[in-house]
A and B are shown apart, each in its own frame.
Chain A
Amino acid sequence: DAMVIQNPRYQVTQFGKPVTLSCSQTLNHNVMYWYQQKSSQAPKLLFHYYDKDFNNEADTPDNFQSRRPNTSFCFLDIRSPGLGDAAMYLCATSRDLGPANEKLFFGSGTQLSVL
Chain B
Amino acid sequence: AQSVTQLDSQVPVFEEAPVELRCNYSSSVSVYLFWYVQYPNQGLQLLLKYLSGSTLVESINGFEAEFNKSQTSFHLRKPSVHISDTAEYFCAVSRSNTGKLIFGQGTTLQVKP
Contacts and interface: CB of A to CB of B under 8 A. Distances in A.
A104 B44 contact: yes
A74 interface: no
Interface residue range, chain B: 20 to 34
Contacts of A44: 103
Interface in A63-105: 90, 92, 94, 96-105
Contacts of B103: 35, 42-44
Given A40-B9, A42-B90, A106 B100 contact: no
Interface string A54-70: 00000000000000000
Contact of A97 (B32, B41, B98): B98
B99 A98 contact: yes
Interface stretch (B12-20, B45-53, B58-66): B45-53
A101 B99 contact: yes
Contacts, number: 61
Interface of B: 4, 9, 32, 36, 41-46, 49, 51, 90, 94, 96-106
A4 interface: yes
A42 B94 CA distance: 14
B94 A101 contact: yes
Contacts of A35: 103
B9 to A, nearest CB: 7
15 contacts: A41-B105, A42-B90, A43-B90, A44-B103, A90-B44, A97-B100, A98-B96, A99-B96, A103-B49, A104-B44, A104-B46, A106-B36, A106-B43, A108-B41, A108-B42
Contacts of B36: 104, 106
A102 B49 CA distance: 8
Contact of A99 (B42, B99, B100): B99
Given A99-B96, A106-B43, A108-B41, A42 B101 contact: no
